Amino acid sequence: MPQEGRPVFRAVERSKVYSSVADQILAGVRSGAFPPGTPLPAERVLAERFEVGRGSVREAIRVLEHAGVLDVRVGSGTYVVGDGGSQERVLRARAAVAGEHSPLDLIVARAALEPVCAEHAASARNTNDLRVLEELVLEQERAVREGEDPSAADADFHLAVAAASHNSVLFALERTLVELMRERMWSELKDHSRSRGRRAERYLEHHRQVLRAVERRDHRRARQLMAVHMSEIETDLLTELGSSPDGAH
């Protein structure tokens, strides 16, 4: 316990400092202040400009390097990658600063896994699996019809498809992806995307088609339909990014 009369210290949160530095460097890359292929000012110079410690600058550079925005060359300097200002790289960097995963990276992972889940579900499903999938489609249908958020039923449907594969590894991987889909950046971007046009209705129809293919044990068709579904989600997310004022949410 602290002694009487002595101040109680709390740890200073550094994340806001380095995230602010990262955001300003990103803004410079996107505006052309730091053109592709050019070196950034030295770490010491950046620290002076931002009026922060060199450790915060170093952490910001590390995050942006991991996101593919910057290229740190030992003994030479830190350079802006050729397409470092692209929507995909900027979104990845902002997600990393927030301690999350890029929505575009997440959809790439889903596109790799979920068609396989659908294919195996069509071969391995049982009567109970079909009942669960049908109930989730009906719940999603109700939410869409009544103007409610269908994201929970939507995510549960994808998880149920993986469960119907009766492959514990596929199910564990899909469960991880569903957890990542609860992150703020994914949720906000997907909500904006779903609200445009009739995308919610289109996604629901995709689920109905996947369910019918699984019910018929048509494993090739189930895989194909899920792949199309993932492709359309990715296209819609990219469209949403392109329509936002700064290219990302």
Domain end (from 97, 120, 138): 97
Q: Can you give the pLDDT at residue 152?
A: 94
Q: Does the pLDDT value for residue 224 go beyond 70?
A: yes
Contact 134, 148 (CB under 8 A): no
Tell me which of 56 and 159 has the higher pLDDT: 159
Residues 130-143 have a mean pLDDT of 98
Structure tokens at 190: 């997907």
Q: For the residues of 160-194, what is the DSSP string, one character each?
A: HHHHHTT-HHHHHHHHHHHHHTTSHHHHHHHHHHH
Tell me which of 2 and 93 has the higher pLDDT: 93
pLDDT category of residue 4 using cuts at 50, 70 and 90 = low
Q: Is 27 left (phi over 0), alpha (psi -120 to 50) or beta?
A: alpha
Q: Beta-carbon neighbour count of residue 49 at 10 Å?
A: 12
What does the DSSP 8-state code read for residue 247? S
Q: What angle do CA 179, 212, 116 make, to 5 degrees?
A: 45
Q: Does the pLDDT value for residue 243 go beyond 80?
A: no
Cα–Cα distance for residue pair 120/163, rounded to 1 Å = 10
Domain count along the chain: 2
* 189 part of a folded domain: yes
Domain end (from 41, 67, 97): 97
Q: Does the pLDDT value for residue 196 go beyond 90?
A: no
The pLDDT mean for the chain works out to 88
Cα–Cα distance for residue pair 241/154, rounded to 1 Å = 21
Question: Do residues 179 and 236 both lie within one domain?
Answer: yes
Cα–Cα distance for residue pair 108/86, rounded to 1 Å = 17
Question: Do residues 30 and 60 both lie within one domain?
Answer: yes
| Segment 30-82, tens digit of pLDDT | 888 888 889 999 999 989 988 899 999 999 999 899 888 899 998 889 999 88
Contact 224, 206 (CB under 8 A): no
With a pLDDT cut of 90, the percent of the chain lying above it is 54
By 3-state DSSP, what share of the chain in percent is helix, strand and coil, each rounded to 5? 70, 5, 30
Query: What is the three-class DSSP state of 216?
Result: coil
Q: Can you give the pLDDT at residue 239?
A: 83
Question: Do residues 111 and 82 both lie within one domain?
Answer: no
pTM flag (> 0.85)? no
Domain that holds residue 195: 103-243
Contact 88, 75 (CB under 8 A): no
Cα–Cα distance for residue pair 131/115, rounded to 1 Å = 20
Q: Does the pLDDT value for residue 137 go beyond 90?
A: yes
Q: Does the pLDDT value for residue 13 go beyond 60?
A: no
Question: Do residues 132 and 195 both lie within one domain?
Answer: yes
Phi, psi of 77 (to 5 degrees): 140, -170
Q: Beta-carbon neighbour count of residue 11 at 10 Å?
A: 5
Q: Does the pLDDT value for residue 11 go beyond 50?
A: no
Contact 114, 230 (CB under 8 A): yes
Question: Do residues 21 and 135 both lie within one domain?
Answer: no
| Segment 71-116, tens digit of pLDDT | 999 888 999 988 766 777 888 888 888 888 999 999 999 999 999 9
